[in-house]
Structure 1
Amino acid sequence: MADDGAMDETSKEVHQHIDELVAREHALRAAQVGKGLDPEEQRELKHIEAQLDQAWDLLRQRNALAEQHENPDAATERPVGEVEGYLN
C-alpha cells in the first residue's frame, strides 16, 4: 500500500470495471431514448446497475481502509440487497 495516496492495483482494476459498466449503461440508456429496451436489455440494465452499486461500495471500502492505514484487500464485495439498501 502506497502512502502517497496512489491507487493500488486492485482498486485500479475495480475502477476500470466501473468505467466499463458505465460505458455499457450509457449505451443502453441511449438506445432506450430512441426505441426503448427489449426485455433482455432491461434485465441487462438492471444487472449493470446492481454491479455498479457493488463496485462503488467495494471501492469506497478499499479507500476507507487505506485511509486508516489498513489493508484495502480486507474489503469484501457485499450482496446487492445490502448495497442497494443504502439508498433507501
Structure 2
Amino acid sequence: MSWKWEYAFGAEKAARTAPREFLAGVTRKADELVRAAEALHLDGRTHREDDPKGGDVIVPGGMFTYQVVVRSERVYVVQITYLGF
C-alpha cells in the first residue's frame, strides 16, 4: 500500500460543482499533506497509536478540512468550502 489522498463523505459531491482553479489548489495542498504523512509514518500499516489530529487548510478561493488515517495510509479531505476569494 502507498500513501494517497481522497475525498470522503460529502466532499466528493461538493467537488463536482467547485471551480477547477479552487480544486487545483486543494489537490496541491493535499499532495503536500500526503508527502508529509508518508515521511513521518514510513510504514503506516504497523501504526498502533491514535491517528493524528486533522486540520483546516486555506487555499485560494476557500479552504478544506482533512483527516489522516495512518493504518490506511490515507489523507481524507472530509469537507471543502469554496468562498470565492
TM-score range, shorter chain: 0.3 to 0.5
TM-score under structure 2 normalisation? 0.37
Q: More helix by proportion, 1 or 2?
A: 1
TM-score under structure 1 normalisation? 0.36
Larger Rg: 1
Considering Cα pairs closer than 8 Å and 6+ residues apart, tell me whether 1 or 2 has the greater RCO: 2
